[in-house]
Amino acid sequence: MTDLPITTTTASDRARDIRAAVESRLKTRHASERRFKLYGQLAIAIALSFLVVLLGRIVTQGASTFVVHSISVQVPLDPARIDQTALEGVNYDIMVADAVLAKLGEKDDDYGTKSEAIKDLMSPDFGFQLLNMIKADSSLIGKTVTVSGPLRANADLYFKGEIKRSSPEEERTLSNQQLDWLDALKSSGAVKTGFNFGFFTKSDSTEPEQAGVLGAVVGSAMMLLVTAFLAVPIGVMAAVYLEEFAPKNSWTDVIEVNINNLAAVPSIVYGLLGLGLFINTLGVPRSSPLLGGLVLALMALPTVIIATRSSLKAVPPSIREAALGVGASRTQAVFHHVLPLAMPGVMTGSILALAHALGETAPLLMIGMVSFVPGVPHGFDQAATVLPVQVFIWENASERAFHERTAAAIMVLLVFMILMNAVAIIVRRRFERRW
Amino acid sequence: MTPNGSSFSRSVMPMNRDDSASHEAATASAATSGPSVKIRARDINVFYGEKQALFDVAIDIPEKSVTSFIGPSGCGKSTFLRCMNRMNDTIPICRVTGAIEMDGEDVNDRSIDPVVLRARVGMVFQKPNPFPKSIYENVAYGPRIHGLATGKDELDAIVESSLRRAGLWDEVSDRLLQPGTGLSGGQQQRLVIARAIAVGPEVILMDEPCSALDPIATAKIEELIDELREQFCIVIVTHSMAQAARVSQRTAFFHMGRLVESGATDEIFTNPRDSRTQDYITGRFG
Ligand SMILES: Nc1ncnc2c1ncn2[C@@H]1O[C@H](COP(=O)(O)OP(=O)(O)OP(=O)(O)O)[C@@H](O)[C@H]1O
Ligand SMILES: [Mg+2]
């Protein structure tokens, strides 16, 4: 031990010097503290503004999807125009158009140009409705029936202000006459504005006004189910083995490094793997929820393993010692005490991995999940579409009306994800234990 | 690695071996007159990887009495304690050589299942570590996994008698289903003792059971240890000389991985033979 160097200053002198030195630096210290606080606040402000711009754009673009303009038309089923031997071949659309013309107090010309123009404003779904009614009850022929549903997308866009009368006639998809008719129908009260329930109860369609997200939502849910049932049990078991039982040697080190690397592999690579392994080798049906679920399970697996391992690590060793100390075997210590304590972390990690898988698009495109699927999938091996792919398909569609639906589908996807994240947070809060 | 390490230590401290040998003789003679030997350890060497933590430890621990281990931090008290219920098995890098006999049976023998051994040799840790479950579950867990109770009534009886013997029953009998982690530190430590008692052990190892407790809780645990002595062989590690003097009949002093001296507690405290023991108990180092 060395003594402090003996100086000429007294103790109180030294104390004063120290205080002076501290005070002289105090100002710069405070300044740098303020500066760092400012940087931090700036960073948060920038991040928030990006988020606001992003969400704002999606919401402003997609909100109009939730409003729909619909109409009810009384159509006389003229027996002369319906060939009962070939119900499918009857031109129901013209019958609907004529009924609308009658409603407007107009008569078609000899060339049928007016009814053709009206046809462009009415959804072809009206024709299918008529067909189905007659098929179900042929006694309806000769009577007058009512069909109702959304206007065709162009008309809808006009009412929403997307197509403007002020723009030159040849640049819009609707003629002046069509606009006049629409105005007339609107002012007569025939056109109703309402909430677009159809968007949630219908699946994809070639007609934008008939297109909905139900098929994609169901497809996504089925695919996630497959992913969850594969990735969570396998991932948890793998993690438990690696963390609690496996000997710590170079083999397990290699495995650990590989798992960590797998978590960072670009998702499209999993798509390639799925294509090669599941489709070409194992013959899993293309574009089915089963196939998508398998591929996404591969992708979610490393994340589940890593999350499980870190929550197993977070369980205090004293709990393991306590269990071993009363004579529990290693397996009993893990399954009776350690794993239950790690469960909140396991579940949170798994849900977040699933939420991530839900939004994944690239690997699904790779395995051919881009086909047009008009209905709700009826089985895990049937063709299906999923939300992010639906967004992708609609965004690439040429009709303008699909673009607002793109944004709306993104909103549905976001709501789906927010719900899953909320569940993750609730699970963590609810089951978190302190010791 | 090992031979070098031990021969080096031996040459540095030539006194040590002779010392422990002579004390072994003393222990043996005491054992013949006093209570019978429960645990007999010979030539215990423990290695953590390359590092040797215990050197040729040999000691007899008598039945139905309290033996305390004292010594400076890092001298290997916990390591030796953990040899007796093979808790060191759970540390991959740890290697134990030598013989520990319990009632004449080698605990490291292949035929001995550590799971069974740990039911016979209960352990209480430094920090109370109840399971984050109900008080009842904490005590019932051991009997349940060992199949000691055939029905709910029997299990209830074991839980009650264990809690009673741990002196906790009166405090918790009306809230058995509340979490064990919600008890005070001293209550938790008694709960952990009840948990150890519940599987009907023969030996209870306690590693600094009072180091996290206030004097009142400590007094309760000490009182409890004194009562438990009637039925169990108890080994306690402690840093408190006063505690060792109060609760134990025999004391062993460890220093740098060696058992320096062991014998009757009064003798060790009033008339230590080794100067290192003398220095330690008078507070000159440690
Ligand atoms: N798990 C381990 N891995 C490696 N070395 C260890 C391990 N446990 C203990 N040791 C070493 O073994 C030696 C003895 O440790 P031990 O815990 O037995 O000491 P102790 O006497 O109980 O000390 P304390 O009074 O501080 O609890 C120490 O040098 C310690 O560093
Ligand atoms: Mg210790």
Q: Which of A159, A176, A202 is the last residue of a domain?
A: A202
Give me ligand 1 centre to Cα B73, in Å.
Answer: 8
Instruction: Kindly tell me if the per-residue pLDDT of A435 is higher than 80.
Output: no
Residue A377 has pLDDT above 50, yes or no: yes
Which residues of chain B does A343 touch, with a Cβ-Cβ cutoff of 8 Å?
A: none
Confidence of residue A335 (pLDDT cuts 50, 70, 90): very high
pLDDT for B235 equals 95
Q: Which neighbouring-strand residues pair with B205?
A: B123, B235
Whole-number average pLDDT of chain A:
87
Position A11 pLDDT exceeds 90: no
**Does A389 reside within a domain?**
yes
Same domain? A354 vs A408: yes
Across the range A354-375, mean pLDDT stands at 86
Answer yes or no: do A321 and A425 share one domain: yes
Instruction: Classify residue B41: in a domain, yes or no.
Output: yes
Is B85's CB within 8 Å of A433's CB? no
How many angstroms separate the CA of residue B127 from the nearest CA in chain A?
A: 8
Asked if the structure places residue A218 within a domain, the reply is: yes
Among B64, B75, B107, smallest CA distance to B89 is for B107
> CA–CA separation, B237 vs B209, rounded Å?
8
The closest CB to that of B199, out of A319, A326, A435, belongs to: A326
Residue with tokens 């006049």, as numbered in its chain: A180
Q: What is the pLDDT of residue A3?
A: 52
> Which residue, A360, A141, A418, is CA-closest to A231?
A360
Domain assignment present for residue A102? The answer is yes
ipTM of the complex model: 0.82
Q: Give yes or no: residues A174 and A279 share one domain.
A: no
pLDDT tens, residue by residue, A342-353: 998 999 899 989
At A291-324, the pLDDT tens digits run 999 999 999 999 999 999 999 999 999 999 999 9
Residues A278, A321, single domain; the answer is yes
Partner residues linked to A74 by β-bridges = A146
Determine the 3-state secondary structure of B47 from DSSP. Answer: strand
What φ, ψ does residue B132 adopt, rounded to 5°? Answer: -75, 55
CA B123 to the chain's CA centroid: 7
Q: Which tens digits make up the pLDDT trace of A59-116?
A: 988 888 888 888 888 888 888 888 878 888 888 888 888 888 888 888 777 777 888 8
What is the C-alpha to C-alpha distance for residues B122 and B131, in angstroms, rounded to an integer?
Answer: 16
Query: Does residue A257 share a domain with residue A109?
Result: no
Which of B249, B246, B238 lies closest to B280, judged by CA?
A: B238
Cα–Cα distance between A270 and B70 in angstroms, integer?
Answer: 60
A167 and A74 within one domain: yes
Whether residues A389 and A341 share a domain: the answer is: yes
Give the total number of structural domains in chain A. 2
pLDDT of residue B15: 39
Residue type, A83: D
CA distance linking residue A150 with residue A403, whole number of Å:
17
* A314-A318-A319 Cα angle (round to 5): 75
Asked whether residue A256 falls in the same domain as residue A397, the answer is yes
What residues sit around ligand 2, an ion, with C-beta below 5 angstroms? Answer: B 78
**Do the domain assignments include residue A23?**
no
A318: three-class secondary structure by DSSP = helix
Q: Which atom of ligand 1 is nearest to the CA of B79?
A: 18
Tell me the one-letter amino acid at A387.
L
Which of B77, B80, B125, B205 to mutate for ligand 1's pocket (most ligand atoms within 8 Å of CB)?
B77
Domain presence at residue B166? yes
The least confident of A175-179, A210-214, B15-19, B239-243 is B15-19
Spatial neighbors of B285 by CB under 8 A, at least 6 apart, are B72, B279
What is the residue with the minimal CA distance to atom 28 of ligand 1? B74
Domain holding B206: CATH number? 3.40.50.300
What pLDDT digit, counting tens, does each position of A35-69 carry?
999 999 999 999 999 999 999 999 988 888 888 88
A336–B116 C-beta distance less than 8 A:
no
Q: What is the pLDDT of residue A183?
A: 87
Do A322 and A198 share a domain, yes or no?
Answer: no
Residue of B nearest to A244 (CA): B90
CA distance readout (Å), B196 to A52, A419, B127, B174, B251:
58, 45, 14, 21, 23
Is A60 within the bounds of a domain?
A: no
Gyration radius from chain B CA atoms: 19
The pLDDT, as a whole number, for residue B285 is 63
Chain A positions in Cβ-Cβ contact with residue B90 (cut-off 8 Å): 320-321, 324
CA separation for the pair B265, A281 (Å, rounded): 76
Provide the pLDDT for residue A4: 54
Q: Which residue matches tokens 């990887």?
A: B49
**Predicted local distance difference test score (pLDDT) of residue B29:** 42
Tokens read off for A429: 């809060």
In chain B, which ranges are continuous DSSP H helix? 2-12, 14-33, 77-84, 114-120, 135-146, 152-165, 169-172, 185-198, 215-228, 241-247, 265-270, 275-281
Q: Which residues contact A242 (CB under 8 A, 6 or more apart)?
A: A252, A255, A256, A305, A309
Q: Is there a domain that residue B171 lies in?
A: yes
Identify whether residues A311 and A284 lie together within a single domain: yes
User: Residue B163's pLDDT is what?
Assistant: 93
Predicted confidence (pLDDT) at residue A20 exceeds the cutoff of 70:
yes
Which DSSP string corresponds to A116-136? HHHHTTB-THHHHHHHHHHHH
Q: How far apart are CA B135 and CA B187, in angstroms?
A: 11
**Cα distance between residue A369 and residue A358, in whole Å:** 14
Burial category of B163 from C-beta neighbours within 10 Å (exposed 0-12, middle 13-18, buried 19 and up)? buried
Nearest Cα residue to atom 5 of ligand 1: B48
How far apart (Å, rounded) are the C-alpha atoms in residues A282 and A298?
15
All residue ranges of chain B with pLDDT < 70 are: 1-35, 285-286
Range of B259's domain? 3-15+35-281
User: In angstroms, what is the span from residue B130 Cα to ligand 1's centroid?
Assistant: 23
Contact check, Cβ <8 Å, B145/A319: no
Edge-first strand order for the sheet with A144-150 is A144-150, A67-76, A191-195
Q: Report yes or no on B121 lying in a domain.
A: yes
What DSSP state is assigned to residue A380? T
Q: State which of A179, A202, A225 marks the end of a domain.
A: A202
Q: Which residue has the tokens 């009949």?
A: B249
Who lines ligand 1 at CB under 6 A?
B 48, 53, 71, 73-79, 91
Residue B25 placed within a domain = no
Give the per-residue pLDDT at A8. 57
With a CB cutoff of 8 Å and minimum separation 6, the contacts of B244 are B68, B70, B236, B238, B251, B265, B269
Atom 11 in ligand 1: residue holding the nearest Cα: B53
Q: Which residues on neighbouring strands pair with residue A159, listed in sequence order? A: none
* Model confidence band, residue A6 (pLDDT cutoffs 50, 70, 90): low
Is A327–B146 a contact, with Cβ atoms under 8 angstroms apart?
A: yes
pLDDT attached to residue A7: 53
Tell me the residue range of the domain where A416 lies: 214-431
Question: What is the number of domains present in chain B?
Answer: 1
C-alpha of residue B78 to centroid of ligand 1, in Å: 7
CA angle B221, B227, B228 (to 5 degrees): 85
Question: Quick one: A179 and A247 in the same domain?
Answer: no
In this prediction, residue A145 carries a pLDDT of 87
Ligand 1 atom closest to B77 (CA): 21
Q: What is the pLDDT of residues B160-198, one digit of tens each?
A: 999 998 889 999 999 999 998 889 888 999 999 999 999
Helix axes A11-62, A401-431, angle to 10 degrees: 140
Contact residues, chain A, for B116 at CB < 8 Å? 327
Q: Please tell me the predicted confidence (pLDDT) of residue A61.
A: 87
User: Which string of b and e fits A101-128 if b means at least 16 CB within 10 Å?
Assistant: bebbebebeeeeebbebbbebbbbbbbe
Residue A151: inside a domain = yes
Q: Which two tokens stand for residue A360?
A: 């994944």
Q: Which residue has the higher pLDDT, B27 or A426?
A: A426
CATH number at residue A268: 1.10.3720.10
Number of H helices, E strands in chain A: 17, 3
